[in-house]
Amino acid sequence: MSSVNPQTKAWQDISQKHHLAPFSDYKDLRPRIITKAKGVYLWDSEGQKILDGMAGLWCTALGYGREELVEAASRQMRELPFYNTFFKTAHPPVLELARTIAEITPGNLNHLFFTGGGSEGNDTMLRLVRHYWASKGMPEKQIIISRKNAYHGSTVAGASLGGMKPMHEQGGLPIPGIVHIAQPYWFAEGGDLDEETFGIQVADELEKKIQALGENKIAAFIAEPIQGAGGVIVPPASYWPRIREILAKYDILFVADEVICGFGRTGEWFGSDYYGNQPDLMTIAKGLTSGYVPMGGLVVSDKVYQQIKEVGDFNHGFTYSGHPVAAAVALENIRILREENIVETVKTQTAPYFQKRLRELCAHPLVGEVRGVGLLGAIELVKDKASRTRYPEAQAVGMMCREHCFNNGLVMRAVGDTMIIAPPLVISKTEVDELVEKATLCLDLTQ
């Protein structure tokens, strides 16, 4: 975006002067200004139409411009724009929503604690699992095992649970009681091992860590079914079965962070369904409201709930826990997902087509691997295909590709030199074709 129109320039000047944007380079805060959206498309202040290959930020399951969600919000705002859910008060939308989510979550995950987003969901999880063990007379069970390069949010607990080094380096993280084991990232870290052997080896790190620290000290293991912000890291097929075997042997809680994988992204309602996992707790956000309003939550199993119920008070909550407008939008969002059979359509129609078309990019000289599940995809950029050698200036190459994408009407995000894609669940096959065509052009330009 070298020369821009006067209105864009004016907004960019305001941004430089006043807006501290998240995860941004503060030396240059001149953003691309997104002004409107419809379906799977965005428009920027230069009038450019852009296919949103990232669903906002993995959020807009139903795409943009769904009037039903707007109506649900405005109806609720007229009826009851706000009331809290503290101290024995509630309202119909939050109760209806809790019941509805319990119907679609796997197993006996039946109890909902609502938050403003995914980070608060993971903060809530950390406090609740420690509270759970303390209430069972085991207060020393405090440690949470997570994975390197995981993303669990940006609050102090969320960023500590996450395994992102650049985040830990700012603010003295992680907080005590959180440890990280290896990620199942075969393409980057598998070395000479075949994928399935690598999957077992990495999963075994969980058992080694439990044994090294002592089962009596470990409260929980947290993981995204597929690491999203880390680079859409689809684990080898051997990984989750081995993790399940290990978890079955030890008395620790299993937390699935479903903030990205939840609400249909994998072609199942939750990533845990896709892999056949049965977590004790699940964090949710993003697709819960299709991003139209902020909302997240922690889903708690009967087992955990029965125990903490014995104590009574849980001294934790947010003003906006179960906000009525967010709850009304989430309810409408889930109604549409169900009535329009969207998750099933992703599974049987769109995802197989998207995955097939995306894999055609494997033939491109710049591409070392294409992987994905459902409507999640990743393209690894390499200097040399055969040896999987990456560019030394990986970050710059990824940013260049991202910039070419934006300039040619496609949002693809760069995680280093891994290009990642997660379009709205309602993307059509023709729009998938357009996405792949544009991605090919941008790879050509990056070469």
**Which residues contact ligand PLP (rule: CB under 6 A)?**
117-119, 122, 151-153, 158, 224, 228-229, 257, 259-260, 285, 296
Residues 423, 428, 432: CA angle, nearest 5 degrees = 60
Report the run of H or E that residue 144 belongs to, with start and end. Answer: strand 143-147
CA distance 119 to 20: 19
The CB-side HSE value for 307 (13 A sphere, CA atoms) comes to 17
Shortest-Cβ-distance residue relative to ligand PLP? 118
Minimum distance, C-beta of residue 260 to ligand PLP, in the bound complex (Å) = 5
Burial class from Cβ neighbours inside 10 Å (0-12, 13-18, 19+) for residue 176 reads exposed
Judged by beta carbon, residue 281 or residue 436, the one nearer ligand PLP is: 281
Judged by beta carbon, residue 297 or residue 368, the one nearer ligand PLP is: 297
* Nearest Cα residue to 298 out of 90, 58, 116: 116
Minimum distance, C-beta of residue 409 to ligand PLP, in the bound complex (Å) = 24
Judged by beta carbon, residue 39 or residue 153, the one nearer ligand PLP is: 153
CA distances from 254 to 163, 287, 288 (A): 17, 22, 21
Write the Ramachandran bin of 317: left for phi over 0, alpha for psi from -120 to 50, otherwise beta.
left
Minimum distance, C-beta of residue 265 to ligand PLP, in the bound complex (Å) = 11
Minimum distance, C-beta of residue 125 to ligand PLP, in the bound complex (Å) = 10
CB 215 within 8 A of CB 206: no
Minimum distance, C-beta of residue 80 to ligand PLP, in the bound complex (Å) = 24
Judged by beta carbon, residue 422 or residue 427, the one nearer ligand PLP is: 422
Minimum distance, C-beta of residue 158 to ligand PLP, in the bound complex (Å) = 6
CA distance 414 to 58: 14
Minimum distance, C-beta of residue 46 to ligand PLP, in the bound complex (Å) = 27
Judged by beta carbon, residue 122 or residue 290, the one nearer ligand PLP is: 122
Minimum distance, C-beta of residue 407 to ligand PLP, in the bound complex (Å) = 25
Judged by beta carbon, residue 117 or residue 199, the one nearer ligand PLP is: 117
CA distance 255 to 443: 37
228 three-state secondary structure:
coil
Minimum distance, C-beta of residue 162 to ligand PLP, in the bound complex (Å) = 8
Residues 46, 49, 52: CA angle, nearest 5 degrees = 120
Judged by beta carbon, residue 229 or residue 426, the one nearer ligand PLP is: 229
Judged by beta carbon, residue 262 or residue 324, the one nearer ligand PLP is: 262
CB 255 within 8 A of CB 220: yes
CB atoms within 10 A of CB 137: 8
* Nearest Cα residue to 83 out of 330, 324, 293: 324
